Every structure is written in C-alpha cells, then in structure tokens.
Chains A and B, each alone.
Chain A
Amino acid sequence: DQQVKQNSPSLSVQEGRISILNCDYTNSMFDYFLWYKKYPAEGPTFLISISSIKDKNEDGRFTVFLNKSAKHLSLHIVPSQPGDSAVYFCAASYGGSARQLTFGSGTQLTVLP
C-alpha cells in the first residue's frame, strides 16, 4: 500500500505557464516533505522541502503548498521553462528527519516551447 501517491504519471504545460504537480499521502505521522527532480541518466536532485509546521515554502520559481487536513501537497512552477522537463518525485518522512524517505512514483513534466 503506497503511503505517498502521485496520481498523475504525466503532465504537459506550455512554456511560461504554471505547472502544478500534486502529491497525496496517507500517513498522518509524516511531518517533513520534499520534492526531487530527476533527469534521464541522472540521480534525483533535491528541489524544495517543507515542514509540517508551515503551509507554504517558496524558492524562486518553485513553491510548495501543504494542506495537512487534506494530506495533500503540491509543487507550483511559475513560469515553466523547457529545462524544467523532468520526472518530479514527492517524498515524505517523519520524526523531523529526512532519513526515512517514502517516495511517490513520480510525475513526468513536459514543458512545451
């Protein structure tokens, strides 16, 4: 049973528009959430994280929103660029530590020029 779910395996967005990637989780013990980006033939690269004491964290074009009551988080990329095309993984952990990460299955984002 997957505790972290990314229900959209793929997403296509026009360059310059907003990309919204979604992630749902079932374990209410999770208190730390991360997004990773993965290009082909490379390992995942850390993008942005959020603690459960916050509902929003912003870093440049990337913003992560956390809705604890809905057990849902999302990653917004504005504006989207062709170089953002990659697989995006959502991950979660508990105990305030990133040591035991549970990953979602990923969403392939394609930004069209």
Chain B
Amino acid sequence: ETGVTQTPRHLVMGMTNKKSLKCEQHLGHNAMYWYKQSAKKPLELMFVYNFKEQTENNSVPSRFSPECPNSSHLFLHLHTLQPEDSALYLCASSQERPEAQYFGPGTRLLVL
C-alpha cells in the first residue's frame, strides 16, 4: 500500500450506533488530519495531530472522538451521530512545513 488509505470507504449507521473510521499513511509523515466535506461546502478541518499529539480541535462536537496511536495511524470514533453528520470524511497527512497535505480517498458516511 502506498499513500494514504482509509477504511471503510462507505458506512451507513443509525444514530445510536458506534463506529470507527480508520486512516493509515505510508508516507513517513508526522502530521495527520481529519476533514469533513458536506455537500456543496468547502472542506472543514476537524482535527490535527502532530507527532501523535492533538494540536487542533476546530470546535468539533464530542460525538466525534479522534485517536492517534502512532504517526502512521489515525482513527475517528463516532457515537450518537445526527443525520446532519452525513458527509465525506477525509484523512490527510503531511511532513514538515510548508509541505502539502496528502489525502486519502475518504469515507462516505450516511447517518440514518
């Protein structure tokens, strides 16, 4: 595997479910990110991890819980989501500044 991978690619969940999104980067980068893209809206940065430490949390509701066990892996734990949380969730990674961010293919999430 090369680049940034995300699993699952598609996810349908009920509002009472708990699920997790997984991201893995094979680029040797030290920073990882979660973004949300809702229909016809710009990508919104959710979380930033730098050397496994969370450095940014852009006012994201607590029903989204990130986890970064090491520099290569990033998780987004989901619980009691709302239908408006349905979106494309993208993971990205980057190296030292001003390196560009490299994105995974995303997880298309539908909350019923």
Q: What residues make up the interface of A, taking CB atoms closer than 8 Å to B?
A: 2, 4, 32, 34, 36, 41-46, 49, 51, 89, 93, 95-106
User: Which listed residue (B50, B100, B103) contacts A43, Cβ 8 A?
Assistant: B103
A45 contacts across to B, CB distance below 8 A: 103
**Which residue of B is nearest A35, CB measured?**
B100
A95 contacts across to B, CB distance below 8 A: 97
Docked CA distance A102–B56 (Å): 14
Query: A49 contacts B100, CB within 8 Å?
Result: yes
Q: How many residues of chain B get a CB closer than 8 Å to chain A's CBs?
A: 25
> Cβ of B72 < 8 Å from any Cβ of A?
no
Nearest first, the 3 closest Cβ-Cβ pairs linking A and B are A43-B103, A97-B97, A46-B100
A43 and B45 in contact, given A97-B98, A99-B94, A99-B97 (Cβ under 8 angstroms):
no
A10 → chain B closest CB, angstroms: 12
Q: A43-B103, A95-B97 are in contact. List 19 more A-B contacts (CB 8 A).
A: A32-B98, A42-B105, A43-B106, A45-B103, A46-B100, A51-B98, A89-B42, A96-B97, A96-B98, A98-B94, A98-B97, A98-B98, A99-B56, A100-B56, A102-B45, A104-B42, A105-B40, A105-B42, A106-B42
A34 and B100 in contact, given A99-B94, A100-B48, A101-B45 (Cβ under 8 angstroms):
yes
